[in-house]
């Protein structure tokens, strides 16, 4: 299988997602698949949050990969018929204080992530805390699969 491991990454910062992606890439190759890590640049501070997500979603992955695994949010918004989301953070956490406009944006971003996650055939959480948040937001069937438990990770991805 040709597998794309897709993560949003703030360049030269998001070491966790990159490390997790590299490790997963190695193990999927060891399992006999073609796998590659695709990093998408992300700026979490700009106002252009919806713009970035729309850009991600407009990218074509389906012709090139049989399966995609998304890591750091908001990579889960990409389109693919066979998508597994493996989250280390909860993108659906309700926003806190802020301006009306700021809270409207947070709500829209959560909505966008929900659209992406509902399309996934499988949503994995890297911790119980993240899993709880996703379930509370209405996602069904969220499994906890921690990095390091690689047999479980690969099994869940390829299931």
Partner 1 sequence: MSLRIAWASPWNAQSAIAAFSAAVCAELAVDGHRIEVLRTETGEEARLAPLPAPFGPVHAPGALPPDALAAGYDAVVVNLGNHYPFHAGAPALLATAPCVAIVHDATMEHFARAWRDAPGEPGDPLGVLRSAEPMMPALAALGCAAVVHAPHYRAAVENACPGPVIELPLAYVPPVPPPPRPIGRDLVVVTVGHVNANKRADQVIRAMGASPRLRARGRYLLLGPVSPEEHGRLLRLAQAVGAPAPAFSGWLPDEALIAHLAISDVIACLRHPVTEGGSASVVLALRSARPTLVSDTGTYAALPEDVALRCTPGDEAADVLRHLEWVLDNPVAARQIGERAAAWAAETHAPAAYAARLAPFLHDAARSAPAILAARSFGLAAARLGLAAGEPALSRMGAVLAELNGGERGADG
Partner 2 sequence: MNVLVLSVRAPFVHGGAEELRDHLVRNLNLTQGVRAASMSLPFSWDPWTRLPDEMLIARGLRLANVDRVIPIKFPAYLVEHAGRTPWLAHQFRQAYDMWDSGQSNIPDTLEGRHVRDLIRGADQEALSGLPRLFAVSQAAKRLRHYCGIEAETLSAPLNDPWLFTGGEAEGYVLAGGRVGGAKRQHLLVRALRFAPGVRLVVAGRPDVPEEGVQLRHLAEAEGVANRVRFELRFLPREELAALVNGAAAVAYVPLDEDSVGYVTMEAFQAGKPVVTTSDAGGVLEIVRDGETGWVALPCPEALGDALAQALADPARAVRRGRAGRAALDGLGLTWPHTVERLLA
Residues that bind partner 2 (CB under 8 A): 2, 4, 9-13, 34, 36, 38-46, 48, 51-52, 54-55, 58-61, 63-65
Smallest separation, CB 95 to partner 1 (Å): 11
Identify the CA nearest to 157 among candidates 62, 82, 77, 80: 82
Smallest separation, CB 65 to partner 2 (Å): 7
Q: Among 40, 105, 144, 154, which residue interacts with partner 1 (rule: CB under 8 A)?
A: 105
Rounded Cα gap, residues 110 and 36, in angstroms: 27
125 forms part of the interface with partner 1 (CB under 8 A): no
Give kind and range of the element (H or E) at residue 2.
strand 2-9
Alpha-carbon distances, residue 80 vs 7, 44, 115 (angstroms):
14, 23, 12
* Beta-strand relationship, 67-70 and 122-125: unpaired
50 forms part of the interface with partner 1 (CB under 8 A): yes
Q: Among 23, 122, 137, 152, which residue interacts with partner 1 (rule: CB under 8 A)?
A: 137
60 binding partner (options partner 1, partner 2, none; Cβ < 5 to 8 Å by kind): partner 2
Query: Dihedral (C-alpha) 54, 122, 70, 105: value to the nearest 10 degrees?
Result: 40
Interaction site with partner 1 (CB under 8 A)? 47-51, 53-54, 57-58, 77, 92, 94, 99-105, 107-108, 110-112, 114-115, 118, 136-139
């Amino acid at each position: 299988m040709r597998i794309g491991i897709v993560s949003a990454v703030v360049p030269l910062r998001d070491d966790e997602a990159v490390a997790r992606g590299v490790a997963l890439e190695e193990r999927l190759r060891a399992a006999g698949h073609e796998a590659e890590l695709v990093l998408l640049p992300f700026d979490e501070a700009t106002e252009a949050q919806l713009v970035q997500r729309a850009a991600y979603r407009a990218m074509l992955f389906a012709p090139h990969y049989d399966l995609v695994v998304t890591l750091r949010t908001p990579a889960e918004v990409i389109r693919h018929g066979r998508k597994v989301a493996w989250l280390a953070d909860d993108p659906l956490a309700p926003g806190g204080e802020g301006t009306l406009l700021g809270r409207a944006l947070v709500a829209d971003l959560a909505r966008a992530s929900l659209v992406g996650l509902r399309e996934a055939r499988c949503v994995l959480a890297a911790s119980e805390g993240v899993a709880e948040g996703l379930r509370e937001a209405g996602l069904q069937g969220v499994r906890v699969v921690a990095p390091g438990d690689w047999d479980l990770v690969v099994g869940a991805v390829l299931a």
